[in-house]
């Protein structure tokens, strides 16, 4: 039996990258989905792709840093499927101009914290009561190795991801009684930079980034979205990770081991 038969999963940042890779894997293993993203065109394309494969999937186009978006997504899950079992908080940004702390404008600091951290708070507060009423389940948050190890000229992103790790641990402690586990993943170099940053990078810059990864990562390469998605599915699975909660799972090819 597939791991997510009869499971309902809500995922943010699901129109591309890791979010879409995880959505595809959840779908392949029997889940019904509620997908959230601010990019309507890509989100509808993802929905169409999954529906053609026979997946039950609903979408919410919206800004994850707004409480209304979280409310709408959770309400849609309950209305369409009657329950919610897994929340995957994946949406985040890492703007190129968010550099050293003293060079980061206040408005940009607020934007990164709102999307990367506040969104996790909003979706957790909206979704956890429904997950509890559904008999329990799992919260998986996307943090980063930047939340464990400071990266040069990437301060606000690292701050936001360190806070996501602590938020995850707090949820794990507070909601174990509700049969809810909470864990986060900490990816390192992945096959492509985040969507917002990639849009501002030249192909030459991307090639240099891949070369840099080959130097810094003991396994000698960037990770693939599908590799990380498998770890997300593992943490979301009651069958495989039933005794894991409050963990920050590092998926970085050995980058932070140096």
Q: How far apart are CA 189 and CA 116, in angstroms?
A: 18
Confidence (pLDDT) at 258: 74
pLDDT of residue 8: 98
pLDDT, tens digit (0-9, with 9 covering 90-100), for 18-71 = 999 999 999 999 999 999 999 999 999 999 999 999 999 999 999 999 999 999
Shortest CA distance to 161 belongs to which of 198, 187, 197, 191?
187
Give the pLDDT score at 46: 98
Q: Is 181 helix (H, G, I), strand (E, B) or coil?
A: strand
Instruction: Indicate the average pLDDT of the chain.
Output: 94
Q: 40-49, 82-91, 249-258 — which is least confidently predicted? A: 249-258
Rounded distance between C-alpha atoms, residue 112 and residue 255, angstroms: 24
Comparing 252 with 207, the larger pLDDT belongs to 252
Three-class SS state of 53 = coil
Residue ranges covered by each domain of the chain:
8-251
In the chain, what is the greatest distance between 2 CA atoms, to the nearest angstrom?
Answer: 53
| Residue listed under structure tokens 């970085």 | 252
Average pLDDT over residues 155-172: 97
Confidence at residue 15, expressed as pLDDT on a 0 to 100 scale: 97
> 8-251 has which fold?
Rossmann fold (3.40.50)
Q: State mean pLDDT over 174-197.
A: 86
Catalytic-labelled residue, pool 121, 157, 225, 243:
157
Say whether pTM exceeds 0.85: yes
Q: Count of CB atoms within 10 A of residue 121's CB?
A: 18
CA distance 247 to 257: 17
Token pair belonging to 176: 């174990």
225 assigned to active site: no
């Amino acid at each position: 039996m597939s791991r997510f038969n009869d499971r309902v999963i809500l995922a943010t940042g699901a129109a591309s990258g890791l979010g879409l890779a995880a959505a595809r894997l959840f779908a392949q293993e029997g889940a019904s989905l509620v997908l959230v993203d601010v990019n309507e065109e890509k989100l509808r394309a993802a929905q169409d792709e999954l529906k053609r494969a026979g997946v039950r999937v609903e979408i919410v186009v919206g800004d994850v840093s707004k409480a209304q978006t979280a409310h709408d997504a959770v309400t849609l899950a309950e209305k369409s499927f009657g329950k919610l079992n897994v929340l995957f908080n994946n949406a985040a940004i890492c703007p190129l101009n968010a550099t050293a702390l003293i060079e980061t404008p206040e408005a940009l600091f607020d934007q990164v914290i709102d999307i990367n951290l506040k969104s996790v708070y909003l979706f957790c507060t909206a979704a956890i009561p429904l997950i509890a009423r559904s008999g329990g389940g799992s919260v998986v948050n996307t943090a980063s190795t930047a939340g464990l190890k400071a990266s040069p000229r990437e301060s606000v992103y690292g701050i936001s991801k360190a806070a996501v790790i602590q938020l995850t641990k707090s949820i794990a402690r507070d909601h174990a009684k509700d049969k809810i586990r909470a864990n986060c993943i900490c990816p390192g170099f992945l096959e492509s930079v985040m969507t917002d940053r990639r849009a501002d990078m030249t192909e030459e810059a991307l090639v240099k980034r891949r070369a840099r990864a080959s130097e810094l990562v003991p396994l000698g390469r960037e990770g693939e979205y599908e590799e990380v998605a498998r770890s997300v599915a593992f943490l979301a699975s009651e069958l495989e990770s039933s005794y894991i909660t409050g963990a920050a799972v590092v998926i970085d090819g050995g980058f932070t081991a140096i």
